[in-house]
Amino acid sequence: MEVSQFHPLRVNPAPEALVLLGMSPEDLQAWLASTGQPSYRVRQLRQWIYHRGARHLRAITVLPHHWREAHQSVSIGRSRLVRQVQAEDGATKLLLGLEDGNTIEAVGIPTAERLTVCVSSQVGCPMACRFCATGKGGLQRSLASHEIIDQVLSVGEAMGRQPTHVVFMGMGEPLLNLAAVLSSIQCFCRDLGMGQRRITVSTVGIPRHINTLAQQAHQVLGRTQFTLAVSLHAPNQSLREHLIPTAKAYPLEDLLEDCRAYVAQTGRRVSFEYVLLAGVNDQSRHAAELGQRLRGFQSHVNLMAYNPIAEEDFQRPCPQQVERFRRILTRQGVAVSVRSSRGLDQDAACGQLRRRWAANITDHGGASG
């Protein structure tokens, strides 16, 4: 008998399981046709997946019972809700469990007019920002597009409202998962009716990736209208490296030059995110230096007071210091606004709920995701 008959390894990997969430109408139609279903089933399937909360094919009762039974193993691609917490101001954070046992966070931030969903693009994060709880655990993996799309659906269901805006400001570095991020944006626009201008992609900055973002966004989406938000957090390279160790690979001047090229290429201004840490990067001299760098730049600065995490001793600046910083930038002609913190009583900072949940499971003898 030949040895190969006993070999336990496959030469070719098994094909990935079919997941319906995020599939284009054309791909859905091709799959349905291959199973003997007419083309009008595409509209029914999309309606139930994106607007009626179907989590399994067997729940879509407009489809033939025998067909649902035959294809019940096909995944829609929904996560499970592990934990939900709501702050006094209405901000709601979800801890979602994935098929492989990992967990991710998504946050709903409501106002009277809108519901913004802050989504994760990776499980963990490789960027190691000192003030961020997500980076403390490192990177486990990138998310598939359906795992990103599911976060928006899950937050909408949990809060009983249709999400109107999406920001990629949760766990992970979106530019290191660009294909899935752009695919999910395409789905938000196509299947949820969300305009690109209501979507923001945030990055710490990866060398050569901002230009790639502009090019691939044009290829996938036809045009680039979402907002690019760059997490700056410092007015100079040395302080930025202190706060973001991975910034050593991307000098601040190079990052800003790539941002200028992005503006020229897309016609869209860049937003700069700046987390204010008391006594670290919030002094008047920091504001003056930042204003000098950004003067004349087609950009906007969002100032955010730090949300404390247990692992670091950074402190939140007082409102007067935040306002002083804002005034200095304004006097230098820099467009600036102060973003109010939401969910402070429920550990709103990225990664806090996930880390706390994992610690609780470990303390009780379980395995954390």
The structure tokens listed for 312 are 């670091």
Q: Considering 118, 187, 259, 350, which one is annotated as catalytic?
A: 350
- The radius of gyration computed from the CA coordinates of the chain, to the nearest angstrom, equals 22
Residue 305: CB partners within 8 Å, gap ≥ 6? 275, 276, 316, 317, 319, 322, 341
> Can you read off the two tokens belonging to residue 44?
């029914």
Catalytic residue among 88, 105, 129, 257: 105
Distance CA 198, CA 194 (A): 7
Do residues 49 and 77 touch, judged by C-beta distance below 8 A? no
Tell me if residue 2 is catalytic: no
Using CA atoms in the order 278, 280, 281, 284, what is the torsion angle rounded to 10 degrees? Answer: 80
How far, in whole angstroms, is CA 106 from its chain's centroid?
8
Helices (H), 122-270: 145-159, 178-191, 209-221, 237-243, 252-266
- At residue 143, the 3 state secondary structure works out as coil
Q: Considering only CA atoms, which of 12, 170, 103, 169 is closest in space to residue 368?
A: 103
Tokens of 78: 């929904």
> Token digits for 64?
């033939």
Rounded Cα distance between 121 and 169, Å, is: 8
Question: By the 8 A CB rule, do 138 and 126 touch?
Answer: yes
What does the alpha-carbon distance between residue 19 and residue 21 come to, in Å, rounded to a whole number?
6
Strand-pairing partners, residue 274, are 303
Q: Which helix (H) or strand (E) holds 330?
A: helix 319-331
Residue 105 designated active-site:
yes
Q: What is the C-alpha to C-alpha distance for residues 1 and 196, in angstroms, rounded to an integer? A: 61
- Which residues are known catalytic residues? 105, 350
